[in-house]
């Protein structure tokens, strides 16, 4: 449901990180530098938080599967064992939050967004020379 919105947010945030970094370097007054610096940090946080949360969901789902296998399941009744078996089969594939039908929300995605932002920034710097 949120896949399209998150992908647009990531693209927009990538552009805003790049432009705010460029504006930070080009700021003429210290007041403007402070404003652009805090805007830059805010945009980084806006991208980092969903990526961190997606990474945590994957890690916790993998931890849940380990805890399920480590539990005292042999002492359960037959119906509960069947339920645990069904649940463990579902947990064999970790829970992954995706956006844009391709990208997964994880910490690596954050570094990719920052990397793309820096590449755009470098192109902007090169055109100013």
Distance CA 40, CA 23 (A): 10
Distance CA 36, CA 19 (A): 10
Q: Among residues 16, 103, 5, 12, which one has the least CA distance to residue 54?
A: 103
Q: What is the pTM of this model?
A: 0.71
pLDDT tens for the chain, 129 residues: list them: 556 777 777 778 888 888 888 888 888 898 988 988 999 898 888 888 888 888 898 888 888 888 888 888 788 888 988 888 888 888 888 777 776 655 777 888 888 888 888 888 888 888 865
Q: Please, are residues 94 and 62 in contact by the beta-carbon 8 Å criterion?
A: yes
Q: Please, are residues 40 and 21 in contact by the beta-carbon 8 Å criterion?
A: yes
pLDDT digits (tens, 9 = 90+) for 58-87: 888 888 888 888 888 788 888 988 888 888
Q: Please, are residues 109 and 53 in contact by the beta-carbon 8 Å criterion?
A: no
């Amino acid at each position: 449901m949120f896949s399209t919105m998150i992908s647009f947010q990531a693209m927009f945030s990538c552009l805003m990180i790049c432009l705010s970094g460029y504006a930070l370097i080009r700021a003429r007054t210290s007041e403007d530098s402070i404003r652009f610096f805090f805007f830059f940090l805010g945009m980084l946080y806006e991208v980092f938080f969903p990526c961190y949360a997606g990474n945590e969901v994957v890690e916790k789902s993998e931890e849940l599967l380990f805890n399920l296998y480590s539990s005292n399941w042999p002492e359960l009744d037959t119906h509960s064992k069947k339920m645990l078996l069904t649940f463990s089969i579902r947990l064999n594939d970790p829970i992954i939050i995706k956006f844009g039908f391709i990208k997964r929300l994880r910490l690596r995605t954050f570094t990719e967004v920052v990397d793309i932002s820096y590449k755009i920034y470098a192109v902007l710097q090169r055109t100013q020379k």
